[in-house]
Amino acid sequence: MTEERLVLAELLEKAGESDFLRAVAEAVLQLLMESDVEGLIGAGRYERSGERTTWRNGYRDRTLDTRLGALQLRIPKLRQGSYFPPFLEARKSSEKALIAVIQEAWIGGVSTRRVDDLVQAMGLSGISKSQVSKLCKEIDERVHAFLDRPLAGEWPYLWLDATYLKQREGGRIVSVAAIIAVAANTDGRREIVGLHIGPSEAETFWSTFLKSLVRRGLRGVKLVISDAHEGLKAAIRRGFGAGWQRCRVHWMRNALAYVPKTQQSMVAAALRQAFLQPDRAQASAMLRHVADQLRPKWPKLAAFIDDSETDVLSYLDFPEQHRSKLHSTNPLERLNKEVKRRADVVGIFPNEAAIIRLIGAVLLEQNDEWQLQHRYMQVEVMAELVTAPEATDPRQIPCAA
């Protein structure tokens, strides 16, 4: 204890005012590590003891980012065994996956300079191929266990959205669709229930994915929320017999494509009036009224509204407390942004396994965070929805393309 006080006293005398707190933090953490190592070894520095289990073997440098700035620490090394301070977090699963993808990209032929830049940007260096292999195996086991887990209970709401990534295939670069599925269960909690990679969004692709969800136990689906994909609409009808809500955000974007930019604000304001109505009947009447008003000037827009009115208003058949989260795929937007942020670091994935490894690790982390948060939907209202009779309104079931 006396020695520790002397170290701190010397530090306080030497530290400048601007670096004072950071220097103190470094010294305190260093003392904690030295104390931990003494207990692990069974003897202090330069102490002779019959209870000693091993010896010190130098240090390895490690940077710890804190609110005080970057702390430069020296982690003690042992001749036999290893020591890692408990206050330093190991890398998150997704960051480990990112390391593995980068290394695999190098093996797959990506330029060495580019990989080196990526590694340096992450503050990493010197990872051997054996370490990469071990790291990949560990991540793959956890990700596949998460993505293939059984789904128990009923899941009334299902959100589906796709994001496109670049992948090397047969010596060329192709664009592949990564479909993410999020569902809300009867406890009012949302979970990420699936990830699927495919070359396109054809009906066979969607059908395969939805069948895999059913095999794992996904049932009780009453409404699927997604963008407009003809293949998906047919797959939903065959796989679930559930209602379909066309994402309102994407619908508005598609509608405004029929209007000159100078008129888009006015048209958007008129269309939004329909979404402010308290029930489906009034919303439908308002939307038809707006379509009739716009028909003389923009007949294609009016025809688009006529054809898609049923799809974009499906969420109004469900409890009012849930509607703000059912009318679009916005609940997936933040998740998709995080996926793209991680994927952009890699740029081009060497293979499909690398995509599943990295994106799956991101999804695993996000799902864990969601389980620590409050319920996503009111459980009392969800219970009423589950006990209600199945909807028989043919407007809720889209026809096959």
CA distance 179 to 242: 19
**Chain segment 327-345, per-residue pLDDT in tens:** 999 888 888 888 888 888 7
**Mean pLDDT, to the nearest integer, of 162-172?**
88
pLDDT on residue 67: 64
- Whether pLDDT at 313 is above 50: yes
Dihedral sign from CA coordinates of 126, 129, 134, 135: positive
**What pLDDT sits at residue 162?**
85
d(CA 84, CA 19): 26
Quick check: helix, strand or coil at residue 352? helix
Instruction: Give the 3-state secondary structure percentages of the chain, helix then strand then coil, rounded to 5.
Output: 55, 15, 30
What pLDDT, on the 0 to 100 scale, is given for residue 268? 94
Residue indicated by tokens 């692990």: 40
Q: Look at residues 210, 222, 208 and name the one whose alpha carbon lies nearest to residue 154.
A: 222
Residue 96: per-residue pLDDT: 67
Q: Report d(CA 316, CA 192) in Å as an integer.
A: 24
The token duo for 151 is 């789904």
DSSP 349: E
* DSSP string covering 87-149: TSPPPPHHHHHHHHHHHHHHHTT--HHHHHHHHHHTT-----HHHHHHHHHHHHHHHHHHHT-
**Poorest-pLDDT segment among 15-24, 176-185, 200-209, 224-233:** 15-24
How many other CB atoms are there within 10 angstroms of residue 224's CB atom?
A: 25
Place 31 in a pLDDT band, splitting at 50, 70 and 90.
confident
- Band (pLDDT 50/70/90 cuts) for residue 231 is confident
Query: Which range among 15-24, 82-91, 92-101, 117-126 shows the weakest confidence by mean pLDDT?
Result: 117-126
Instruction: Read off the pLDDT of residues 97-120 as tens digits, 9 standing for 90 and up.
Output: 666 666 566 545 555 555 566 556
**90 vs 172, residue with greater confidence:** 172
How far apart CA 202 and CA 177 sit, in angstroms, is: 11
Distance of CA 151 to the CA centre of its chain: 19
Question: Could you give the CA distance from residue 58 to residue 43 in angstroms, rounded to a whole number?
Answer: 16
Distance CA 308, CA 288 (A): 11
**For the chain, how many residues are written?**
401
Q: Are strands 223-226 and 157-169 parallel, antiparallel or unpaired?
A: parallel
- Higher-confidence residue of 12 and 279: namely 279
* Number of CB atoms found within 10 A of residue 153's CB: 12
Which pLDDT band, with edges at 50, 70 and 90, does 88 fall under? confident
Average pLDDT rounded to a whole number, residues 144-150: 95
- Whether residue 275 is predicted with pLDDT greater than 50 in this model: the reply is yes
CA distance 306 to 291: 7
Residue 188 backbone dihedrals phi, psi, to 5 degrees: 80, 10
Residue 291: the pLDDT is 94
Give the pLDDT confidence score for residue 281 in this predicted structure: 94
pLDDT at 24 over 90: no
What are the backbone angles phi and psi of residue 213, rounded to the nearest 5°?
Answer: -65, -40
12-16, 307-311, 316-320: least confidently modelled range: 12-16
* 260 burial level (CB within 10 Å; 0-12, 13-18, 19+): exposed
Element (H, E) at 212: helix 203-215
Closest CA to 363 of 191, 219, 213: 191
Give the residue with greater pLDDT, 263 vs 54.
263
Name the pLDDT band for 392 (thresholds 50, 70, 90): very low
How high does pLDDT run on average in the chain?
80
Single out the residue of 354, 280, 288, 300 nearest to residue 97, CA to CA. Answer: 354
* Residue 2 pLDDT greater than 50, yes or no: no
- Check residue 155 and give its pLDDT: 94
Considering only residues 132 and 315, tell me which one the structure prediction assigns the higher pLDDT: 315
Confidence check: pLDDT of 48 > 80: no
The per-residue pLDDT for 46 is 72
Distance between CA atoms of 80 and 54, rounded to whole angstroms?
6
Specify which residues 194 forms β-bridges with: 181
| Confidence (pLDDT) at 114 | 59
Measured CA to CA, the distance from residue 277 to residue 283 in angstroms comes to 5
